[in-house]
Amino acid sequence: MKIGVLSLQGDFEAHTRVLARLDMPYCEIRHPEQLRDTDGLILPGGESTTMVKFIQAAGFEPALKAYAKARRPIFGTCAGAILLAAEVIDRPQFSLGLIDLVVRRNAYGRQVDSFIEVGPCAGFNEPLEMVFIRAPIIESVGPSVSVLARAQNRPVLVRSGNILVSTFHPELTVDNRVHAYFLAMAH
Amino acid sequence: MSEQNLLRLKIGLAEMLKGGAIMDVTNADQAKIAEDAGAVAVMALERVPADIRAQGGIARMASPKRIREIMAVVSIPVMAKVRIGHFVEAQILEALAVDYIDESEVLTPADEEHHIDKHAFKVPFVCGARDLGEALRRVAEGAALIRTKGEAGSGNIVEAVRHLRKIQKEIKTLTVLPEEELMAEAKRLGSPFELVRMVAKNGRLPVPNFAAGGIATPADAALAMQLGAESVFVGSGIFKSEDPARRAQAIVQAVTHFREANILLQVSEDLAEPMKGIDIAKLDEKDKLQTRGW
C-alpha cells in the first residue's frame, strides 16, 4: 500500500512526516499520472488559490475526479478541504465538488486569529488537539456527510464515503490518530 | 495561549507557505497580478528594493492605507516589512492584522544594535540571515521563519546562493560534532546553546528556511530550491521585469517543479526581459543591504 501526497504547494512535507511515523510508504504527487500507483491521496494545507492554478492547468481535475469515483480515499486538510468542497464562498473559487460541503475561506479571520483547540472526536477515546491556521469554516454539510468532530460548534472533521476532510491540521501535531483513521479507510 | 502554542501557530503558517513564491508588491494592482499568477503570499512595501537602491533616502514601513488596500484585494496572506529594531512599526502592522512581518534589512535600520523582541507579538516574523549564527539569533528572538538575505534589489542570485550554502554547511557540520564540541561551536556561531543543540540533533533549522535576495528568473528560483530553500521570496525580480504576470507564473511553476529540467526549460522560454541586475563585486560595501543587522 502507498499513499500519495499532493505536493504542488503547502505543508505536504508535514503529512509525509506523519506517514513515516506510521510506517506507511508515500510518494509526492506533482503530476496526475503519478496518482496511478497510490491507494489513497492527501491534499495538504497551503494556499488553495495557488493549488487551484495547478489543478486547473495540468489535467489534475479529471484525474482527481476519476480517483474519487474509483472509490479511492482522499483526505483534505484546510486548503485540501476547500479543494474538495462542493461550494466555496466568500471569494467563490473553483473546487472539485467531491464532498457535499459549503466552505467559507479564512472565515475565522487573519493569522492573528489562528488558534489551537482540544476537543472530542467520534471514535477516539482521548480528546484531539486541533490546530487552525487561517482556517476555513464548514458552513453546511449535505445529508451524505457525517460529522466526526466539532470546534466552536462547527463541523471541523467530516467524512462522506471515501472522502475525509478536516479544516484543522492534524499533520502539525504529534498525534497520528486522524491519519491512522484515514489509512484504515484506504485498507 | 501558551508561548509554545503561539510559536507553533506562527511556524504553522510558514509551513503552509512552503513550495511557493512570495512576491513583493507596492500596490493593490500588483498584488492582484501576483495572486492571479499563483503567489502563496504577497509582501507589501513602499518601493521594491531595486528602487530603494536607485532612489536612496530612508526606506520605511509602507503606509497602512496602501497595505490595507492590498489586504482588501487578495485572499492570500499579506506580509509587510518593518525596519530592523522598529518595534512600533511592528505594533502598527499587528494592529492592522497583517499575516507576517518581515523585519528587513531592505529598509533603513531603526536600531543598529537590537532587533525586535518578536516573542512579544502575536503576528509571526520572518527575518533574514547570512549564516547559521545569525539565523539562530533571530529564532531566539522569536522569528518563526528564516530567509536568506541575499542581496536585495540586485537581480543577482550570487549572495543568496552563498547564504544558502553557508547555512546548510554549518548545519551539516553541527550534526557530526560530538556533544562536547557544541558549546564551543555555539560560542563561535554566537547563538544560544540550546538552539545549536537542537539543530545538531535534527539536522535542520527549528523553523522553515526560505530564500530571498536577487531571484530574477525561474532558474534562480529552482536553484534556490535545489540548494535546500523551502520557498522563495521574489522582490524586484517580478515587477522590474518586462512582463511581470508571465514571469510570476513561470517562477511559481519553477518552484513546484524545481527538479524537472524539462518544465524549467518550458517556463523559461519566451519570457520577456528580466530585470537588469547589478554585479555585486562592483557594489560598494556601504551600498550592500545584507550587512544591515547582525
**Residue range A41-81, pLDDT digits in tens:** 999 999 999 999 999 998 999 999 999 999 999 999 999 99
User: Which secondary structure element, helix H or strand E, spans residue B67, and what is its range?
Assistant: helix B64-73
Q: How confident is the model at residue B285 (pLDDT cuts 50, 70, 90)?
A: confident
- Strands (DSSP E) contained in chain B are 21-25, 41-44, 78-83, 100-104, 125-129, 145-148, 209-210, 232-234
pLDDT at B160: 96
Q: How confident is the model at residue A91 (pLDDT cuts 50, 70, 90)?
A: confident
Q: How confident is the model at residue A12 (pLDDT cuts 50, 70, 90)?
A: very high
The residue among A5, A133, A168, A169 with the most chain B CBs within 10 A of its CB, best to mutate, is A133
**What's the rounded mean pLDDT across residues B131-145?**
98
pLDDT at B294: 84
pLDDT at B5: 97
pLDDT at A157: 98
Q: At residue B81, what are phi and psi to the nearest 5 degrees? A: -95, 145
Contact list in A for residue B1 (CB cut-off 8 A) is 115-116
* Beta-carbon contacts of residue B13 (< 8 Å; ≥ 6 apart): A111, A114, A133, A134, B77, B99, B100, B124, B144
Question: What share of residues in chain A are helix, strand, coil (percent, to 5)?
Answer: 30, 30, 40
**What's the rounded mean pLDDT across residues B168-182?**
97
**What's the rounded mean pLDDT across residues B101-112?**
96
| Amino acid identity, position B157 | I
**What's the rounded mean pLDDT across residues B59-72?**
97
C-alpha grid cell, residue B84: 530592523
pLDDT at B84: 98
Hey, is B145 helix, strand or coil? Answer: strand
pLDDT at B235: 87
Contact list in A for residue B5 (CB cut-off 8 A) is 116
Cross-chain residue pair A45–B94, CB shorter than 8 Å: no
pLDDT above 90: residue B279: no
- What is chain B's mean pLDDT, rounded? 95
ipTM of the complex: 0.97
Q: How confident is the model at residue B1 (pLDDT cuts 50, 70, 90)?
A: confident
CB burial readout B232-258, b (16+ within 10 A) else e? bbbbbbbbbbeebebbbbbbbbbbbbb
pTM of the model: 0.96
No. of helices (H) and no. of strands (E), chain B: 13, 8
The residue among B9, B118, B204 with the most chain A CBs within 10 A of its CB, best to mutate, is B9
